[in-house]
Structure 1
Amino acid sequence: MENTEIFKVSVPQQVLDDLKSRLENTRWPGEATGSGWTFGTSEAYLKELVKYWLTEYDWRKQEKALNIYPQYIANVNGVKIHFQYVKGKSENSKPLVLTHGWPDSYYRFHKIIPLLTEGVQSFDLIIPSIPGFGFSDKTALTSEAVADLWKGLMTENLGYEKFYAAGGDVGMGVTKALASKYPDVVAGVHFTDLGYPMGQEDPATMTEAEKQFAEFVQEWWYSEGAYAMVHSTKPQSLAYGLNESPAGLASWIISFGTAGASPDILEDAFGGKDELLTNIMIYWVTQTIATSMRMYKVDAAAQWSGAEPLQKSDVPSGVATFPREAQFPKEWAERFVNVVSFTKMKEGGHFAALEVPEIFAGELQTFFYGIDKKSLK
């Protein structure tokens, strides 16, 4: 591997001691009587979570688990990229880069690693941290710029001539850009969402199903889209508070991390308290909440700059919609990618790789091994 070095997660004890002190001295704002989750993250729930964080959660245990799989830092065009690299057990394993979103991290995929690296239909898994997230460089880049880095990582640093890619949320934008810009090396892509109508579409070109989807998104945007509006406009103003208070950081991530899941199954959406907190901890110990939010701002600036949008790609694309996600129609996906597989899943949500790992892994295997019977070399 070119320009790469081995990486291990190792957080200084003073960072953990400082975290403990901040959690113990949280200034609680109080909440409206009986408000529950209607005003945002429930204070009663958050107090319970902070207590668990202080008394039962074991970062060193989670740190050891994070280090089970090989990790590296690669220098790609001057940007340091952290990534997990787990080779499949089959001699014909396909190279697959998985891209996370917000407010999750590369940790999103930890449950599907053993599922996708064993057996005949296995993959060489490359799971990077987007720049500005986790252990990669603290720099916010557009989705297109990240796609450029992924192409360099896969072909130059790791030496693959062709590869596959999958992603959702922010990872969707990166994966879509990979397919549009590099169809000569990207053999197939998979998505769990394909963006949302933002008023730029000509209604005359939209089907009835797309119009209904747009109406749903508009309603959702006014009720749940505050995080994206803040990130796309004033991320720095919010970052000071979130970088200062671990309880505040947890509240923000939890409030917008349910993604279609009701609060009573919030922990199931992330995989339990320990996994929920480990994801939050990755932001806390790296101090990357500011740069992660900033990516929304630079992407929005690029979108409204007047630059030509990416062309629709001919790369074979698989799309899976999960029931606790926005239910977009197939024709919406076909606006952007070459849809050869469109599957409505029976269970799962935004964090399908955490919620229903067996189902999600099976979908990836079925799609990628279905579109290409010849193994990549």
Structure 2
Amino acid sequence: MVDELADPKDADAPAFHVVVPSLPGFGYSDKPATTGWGTEKIAAAWVELMGRLGYSTFLAHGGDWGGNITTVLAGRFPEHVLGIHTLFAEAPPGLSTDGLTAAERKWTEDTRDFWRHRAAYAKQQATRPQTIGYSLVDSPVGLLAWILDKFADWSDTEDSPFETISRDRILDDVTLYWLTRTGASAARIYYESHNSLDPELRVDVPSAISMYPRDIEKCPRPWAQERYRQIVRWRSPERGGHFPSLEVPEFFAKDLQEGFAAVLAAHR
């Protein structure tokens, strides 16, 4: 999350302050001791966190679960969220494919295929997170296989995730889960939040949205506009999958900065 965005070439621009919170149960955060830590509660916690840090208004960015939480932040707390940049636009359910382009229809077919044939991990964690959780904190090889499978399937590569992401970066990610023993606690967000996004939630703050070509879920713009009512920037990059900050880091950083610039320009 960002409280102010500056052009680094502009000496008179405001400071660029970045806050990167760690989701409860992940990485450097504590493991929740109670149930209920779904995306709605996490979004409220982020507002509280930013307030305690002295930021009453801020911008928010996210992908994957962070993208879901970013949507909740913008929809529930527009008085605090100036705007968002997200890689994970979620349309309301039940929309028709009538009027979509051929490319947009392909997006919906790819997403449907993912949930039917490649999302067993999510169904497992959404229904029986502790069953797999014990394995993820007991075996480093099991944890590596569980995580590497996602890097292999979700990155924009032909044969191996190591085509774009180094072994060291992936091992860093796995090691963080292993040393903090968060394989089980991280899985619980699926149980707490799977399919929990309010179908009536609307985002009225300025929104910048990027759909990377090999991401696991891609939302057509006509569908996204049913929830995100003020899209100020829409991009469909030529390269990148679910992990663009690792796969195409320079492009991702530029896209993020330009997206936030478009959001701030909407307030002028």
Q: How far has the Cα of 1:323 moved from its partner? A: 1.9
User: Which protein is richer in strand relative to its size?
Assistant: 1
Q: CA deviation at 1:312?
A: 0.7
Counterpart check, 1:283 vs 2:173: no
Structure 1, unaligned runs of 5 or more:
1-84, 86-92, 97-115
Matched, 1:226 2:120: yes
TM-score if structure 1 supplies the norm length? Answer: 0.62
Identity of matched residues, %: 33
Does the CA-based 8 Å contact 1:117-1:125 persist in structure 2?
A: no
Compute the TM-score of the two structures, normalised by the length of structure 2.
0.85
Higher relative contact order (CA 8 A, sep 6+): 2
1:133 is aligned to: 26
Distance 1:296 1:95 in 2: 31
| Distance in 2 separating the partners of 1:299 and 1:279 | 23
The answer on whether the counterparts of 2:74 and 2:84 sit within 8 Å (CA) in structure 1 is yes
* Cα deviation, residue 223, structure 1: 2.4
For residues 64-89 of structure 1, the C-alpha deviation after alignment (integer angstroms, 9 at most, x for no partner) is xxxxxxxxxxxxxxxxxxxxx9xxxx
The alpha carbon displacement at 1:322 in A equals 1.3
- 2:44, 2:142 → 1: CA distance? 34
Check if 1:154 corresponds to 2:50: yes
Cα distance in 2, alignment partners of residues 373 and 218 from structure 1: 35
Kindly name which structure, 1 or 2, has the bigger radius of gyration based on alpha carbons: 1
Q: Which amino acid aligns with 2:222?
A: E
Counterpart position of 2:258: 366
Structure 2 counterpart of 1:163: 58
Alignment-derived partner of residue 89 in structure 2: 194
2:214 is matched with 324
The answer to whether the 8 A contact 1:196-1:214 is kept is no
- Residue 17 of structure 2 aligns to which amino acid in structure 1? D
Q: Quick one: which amino acid aligns to residue 75 of structure 2? A: S
Report the counterpart of residue 201 of structure 2 in structure 1.
311
Q: Which runs of 5+ in 2 are unaligned?
A: none
Residue pair 2:207, 2:263 contacting (<8 A) in 1 also: no
Correspondent of 2:226 among 332, 335, 338: 335
Backbone CA RMSD of aligned residues = 2.8
Q: Give the corresponding residue for 1:78.
A: none
Q: Deviations over 1:26-66 (max 9, x none)?
A: xxxxxxxxxxxxxxxxxxxxxxxxxxxxxxxxxxxxxxxxx
Q: Note if contact 1:190-1:318 (Cα within 8 Å) is conserved in structure 2.
A: yes
Residue correspondences, number: 257
1:277 CA displacement: 0.6
* SS, match of residue 247 in structure 1: helix
Which residue of 2 is the match for residue 242 of structure 1?
A: 136
Task: Confirm or deny: 8 A CA contact 1:166 1:190 kept in the other structure.
Answer: yes
- CA gap 1:184/1:339 in 2 versus in 1, 3 angstroms: same
Q: Judging changes above 3 Å, is the alpha-carbon distance between structure 1 residues 318 and 245 closer, same or farther for their aligned structure 2 residues?
A: same
